[in-house]
Amino acid sequence: MVLALPQRLQTERLVLRRHRRDDAPAIAEALADWEVARWLARLPIPYTLPDAVSWIRTATRNWNQATDYQFVVAETDDDRLVGHMGVRIEPGGTEGEFGYWFDRQVWGRGYASEAGHEILRFAFDELGLQRVTAVVLPDNERSARVVLKLGLTPDGYRRQRFDPIDATVDAPVYAITRRQWQDLQAG
């Protein structure tokens, strides 16, 4: 059992925090953008405000049940929601799957890389996971770039359903082990 987990993480420009009910409109707006939604695995399309409200309930319950730790990513200056990132615990409890999206307005500022570094630290240092994976659609070059920059490496393929594009795909898996993460931090 994981004790005294931080409820809020901080990076240079971003705060990663738990959901609040008033996050729903910003989540609904960001995920109504097909350029964001089309890369995600499990998402109702079209994505509406009630979907966001229901997601916040689910995310809160999952966190409390220690099965999935999803954070809102907000800019530190004004707490504006700009994205979403987290790690879902795999059955067995030693591995996690990393997932994220950012509002298109903020792409290209290095936010996913900055938040991702902190989520990996959370996954290994706070949750004590042994391995973290990410499943990325084959043509999602931006996302592949983010995971490679964070130190994940290609680790085969997983046949996975992607609801928004209504397809089941052999998607590339990227992975990093606890040892690899520690070696990277040691420089």
Ligand X SMILES: CC(C)(COP(=O)(O)OP(=O)(O)OC[C@H]1O[C@@H](n2cnc3c(N)ncnc32)[C@H](O)[C@@H]1OP(=O)(O)O)[C@@H](O)C(=O)NCCC(=O)NCCS
Binding site for ligand X (CB under 6 A): 36, 39-40, 100-102, 107-113, 134, 136, 140-143, 145-146, 149
For residue 23, the minimal CB distance to ligand X (Å) is 16
Closer CB to ligand X, residue 56 or residue 82? 82
Alpha carbon distance 160, 19 (integer Å) = 27
Residues 6 or more apart from 27 whose CB is under 8 A from it? 52, 55, 56, 72, 81, 84
Closer CB to ligand X, residue 92 or residue 108? 108
Q: What are phi and psi of 99, to 5 degrees?
A: -145, 155
For residue 121, the minimal CB distance to ligand X (Å) is 16
Closer CB to ligand X, residue 24 or residue 136? 136
User: Residue 75: which region, alpha, beta or left (left: phi > 0; alpha: psi -120 to 50)?
Assistant: beta
For residue 48, the minimal CB distance to ligand X (Å) is 18
Question: Whose CA is closest to 22, among 73, 66, 71, 81?
Answer: 81
For residue 82, the minimal CB distance to ligand X (Å) is 8
Alpha carbon distance 181, 92 (integer Å) = 20
Three-state DSSP at 105 gives helix
For residue 171, the minimal CB distance to ligand X (Å) is 9
Closer CB to ligand X, residue 1 or residue 12? 12
Closer CB to ligand X, residue 65 or residue 112? 112
Closer CB to ligand X, residue 145 or residue 179? 145
For residue 109, the minimal CB distance to ligand X (Å) is 6
The helix (H) or strand (E) run that includes residue 135 is: strand 131-135
The token pair that represents 27 in the structure block: 């989540």
